Each structure stands twice: as C-alpha cells, then as structure tokens.
Amino acid sequence: MTDLSTTMPAGFLWGASTAAHQIEGGNHNSDWWEMEQHVLAEGGGPIQESSGDACDSFHRWPEDMDLLAQLGFTDYRFSIEWARIEPAPGEISHAAIDHYRRMVEGAHERGLRPLVTLHHFTAPRWFAHRGSWYAEDAADRFARYVEAAAPVYADGVDHVCTINEPNMVALFPALVEMLTGDGGATEQLANHGLPEPDAKLTESMIRAHRRAAEAVKSRAPHVRTGWSVAVQAVQAIEGAEQAAKAYGRPRQDVFLEAAHGDDWLGVQTYTRTRIGPDGLAPVPDEVERTLTGWEFYPQALGETLRHVSTVAPDVPLIVTENGIATDDDTRRVAYTAGAVSGMANAMADGVDVRGYFHWSALDNYEWGSFRPTFGLIAVDRTTFARTPRPSAAWLGGGGRDRRWPTA
C-alpha cells in the first residue's frame, strides 16, 4: 500500500513561485512603478524603495530556471507582464510575447512545467489612468490582453492562473489609505489586519476572472484555468465564531466561492489571524515573528486547505504560494517542513491538493522593500549573483525523490 505520509502522489506539482514585477526589474510602464516613484517623491508612505532592477530576471531568467531544475523542482510558477505585452491600449508587443514564449520553452528544455500567471498585482499605466478595475470595461480590456497573450500559453502550458490574489487587489485602495507608517506594505498588514475589500472591486475581479478564463479556453481549450486567493487561517477566540466568520467572508470566502466551476483553485497561505470579541487579536509579544512581522505559524497551511475544501468542495486545490521571510534559513526549513506536513495530513484526510509552489524562488521586491527575504535563493542586490540557500536543495529534493521533505 502506498504510504501517503511520505510519498508524493504521481503528477503532483512541486515548484517555486515568482512574479514579474518583483523579479524582472525595469518595469517602467506599469502602474506599480509609477506609484513607487510617486510615493517616494512625496515621502512618508509605505513604499521604502523602488523596485529598480529587482533581480534582473528579465534577462537572467535562464539562470533562475537552471537553478530550480538543478535543485530538483519539477515546476515553476511565474507571471507575464501586461504592461510589457500591451504597452498602450490595443498595441501589442510581439517582442514581449516572444520573450515569454521563450520562457515557456526554456522551462520545458530544463524539465520544468510552467504555471503561468496573467496578472500578479501590476497593470499598464494606461489601465490605471483609465480607472483601473473600477472602469466599466476593465474586464473587456483584461480579456483583450489575455487573448493577445495566447501564443505564450497555447502550447506547453497546462495551468494558467488568471489573477493573483484578487482579494488583495480588491482591498488595495483601502490598504493604501491605511498604511502611512514605516515599513513595507507587507509588514504593515501584520499589525493592522486587512481592511474589507471594496464591493465594486470584488465584483469587478470576479467578472474579470470569468472573462479571462473564457478567453484562455477559447484560444487553448486544454489549459486548466483557476485563480489564486490569499487565505489566512482565521481563528475565533473566546467564542467569537460569528465575528471570525464575518471577518473571513468578504476578505476570502467570497473569492473562494467564485472558483466554483474552475479547473483548480490556488491557495496562498502564510500565517493566521485571530479574531476575538473586540476584533483582531494582536500577536502577543513573546510569539516568534518573521521579517514581515507575521506570526511564525506553519500550521496555517493545513488549516486553510481544510477550510478551503469546505468552501469550494468541488475544485482541486494547488498551493500556489507558501513561505517565510527570514534571514535564518533554518527557520525557513522548520516553517516549510511544518507547512508541508500539515498539507500532507490534510491530503491523507481527503483534501484534494494537486501541487505545492513555495514563495519564493528568489529574494525579491516585496511591494515596497527588498528587506523581507523570502527566497530559497539569495540574490546580491548589485551583482545579481544567485546563491541557493540550504533550504533550496532540501525542498527541491522533494521533487527529485517524489517524497515529502521532512526537517
């Protein structure tokens, strides 16, 4: 009999994730680049530094993929950049499409299966100037880009993620309002909890997802489409069950339910949120925190997978992000071992999980700062030299051996 506790199921995706804006560098035509420059010029906002050259992965992607394959991973999740593919409304850059097409082919040449994300937080400047996701025709514009990008995914790509963390996109304007103190945007979340997503944006994201999934299927019917939702383990304390439900529903469950009918659903989990009768319970001082200020809580992954499987029971799950910002790599191994064992236990109990992608392959631009280092691979900020950490070979070995890695 197969021992589910140690053996990875056949076909299980085992990889690491990145996002274009966070690693490519020079994403000058994107709304995020413009916002970084604006906030830095004004001063005092949540953006500490510009994304600049990031990891220069726009040029160095072959090196990134070489490393991931050598480390033992079988899969790589990366995103393509709308601002490069459609630099002006309706104007398509064939050179940008060729660039991403070469990445898909380059992944296969190295034995990596690509999972391609179409939107990971960033959009072209012109899209932002025309009302962003508030615009009536936002979904049409997104679908037009998705159709134009078909040569990237039409062949050799089994999984496409339409939108990364639509729930974060929908609460982003409220988050920007809230964040005025020091530290990157990621850190601030730890202390304030998440604001509630805007209802109009929530609707807009769901519409955009549906339109994008249809667009992908119309061009490449074989592709399995889904989206990736940020899901924290929301826990009720002191009988605050109703308050915890009320917190979780607009921030995550609505987006999970919208995956009904999709081929898969991405789960992205880092930590837990505890809700008491008076709202968000602060993380106690004595508890270990990561470089983002989030509680070190590896159990979150198993808990969220179980939760998601009750909210979206008919959809297979893929962990598209999970990881830890730390400058102590032994804590990365400890965190990830705990998370993976929580996932394997959930699977043994019947939760349908088809893959695990670690965030992140590389140290990268964490939406305002390079300080939170999530990478399995360290990146020198000026030479761009890549140095895999011990955790990288440890985790990658799971792919090579087809066994869950244990600490």
The residues annotated as belonging to the active site are 165
- State the pairing for strand pair 224-230/233-236: unpaired
Round to whole Å and give the CA distance between 198 and 203. Answer: 9
Q: Which is nearer to ligand FCB, 227 or 367 (CB)?
A: 367
Number of neighbours of residue 116 by Cβ within 10 angstroms: 24
What is the smallest separation between the CB atom of 25 and ligand FCB, expressed in angstroms?
A: 15
Q: What is the DSSP letter of 133?
A: G
What is the smallest separation between the CB atom of 374 and ligand FCB, expressed in angstroms?
A: 6
What is the smallest separation between the CB atom of 151 and ligand FCB, expressed in angstroms?
A: 25
- For 9-46, b/e burial (b = at least 16 CB within 10 A) is eeebbbbbbbbbbbbbbebebbbbbbbbeebeeeeebb
φ/ψ region of 384 (left if φ > 0, alpha if ψ in -120 to 50, else beta) reads: left
Q: Which is nearer to ligand FCB, 243 or 292 (CB)?
A: 292
Beta partners for residue 114, in sequence order: 76
Give how far the C-alpha of residue 288 lies from the chain's centroid of Cα atoms, to the nearest Å.
23
Alpha-helical (H) ranges within 131-198 are: 138-148, 150-153, 166-178, 185-192
Starting at the earlier edge strand, list the strands of the sheet with 233-236.
233-236, 272-276, 279-280
What is the smallest separation between the CB atom of 399 and ligand FCB, expressed in angstroms?
A: 21
Q: Which is nearer to ligand FCB, 17 or 309 (CB)?
A: 17
Residues that bind ligand FCB (CB under 6 A): 19, 22, 164-165, 168, 230, 268, 321, 359, 366-367, 374
Q: Which is nearer to ligand FCB, 190 or 236 (CB)?
A: 190
What is the smallest separation between the CB atom of 295 and ligand FCB, expressed in angstroms?
A: 14
Candidates 168, 275, 158; CA nearest to 224 is 158
Round to whole Å and give the CA distance between 320 and 114. Answer: 12
Q: Which is nearer to ligand FCB, 75 or 366 (CB)?
A: 366
- State the pairing for strand pair 265-269/224-230: parallel
What is the smallest separation between the CB atom of 71 and ligand FCB, expressed in angstroms?
A: 20
Round to whole Å and give the CA distance between 20 and 35. Answer: 16
Candidates 391, 304, 340; CA nearest to 14 is 340
Q: Which is nearer to ligand FCB, 302 or 375 (CB)?
A: 375
44 contact partners, CB below 8 Å, separation of at least 6? 180
What is the smallest separation between the CB atom of 185 and ligand FCB, expressed in angstroms?
A: 9
Residue 1, class by beta-carbon neighbours within 10 Å (0-12 exposed, 13-18 middle, 19+ buried)? exposed
Round to whole Å and give the CA distance between 56 and 363. Answer: 12
Q: Which is nearer to ligand FCB, 22 or 341 (CB)?
A: 22
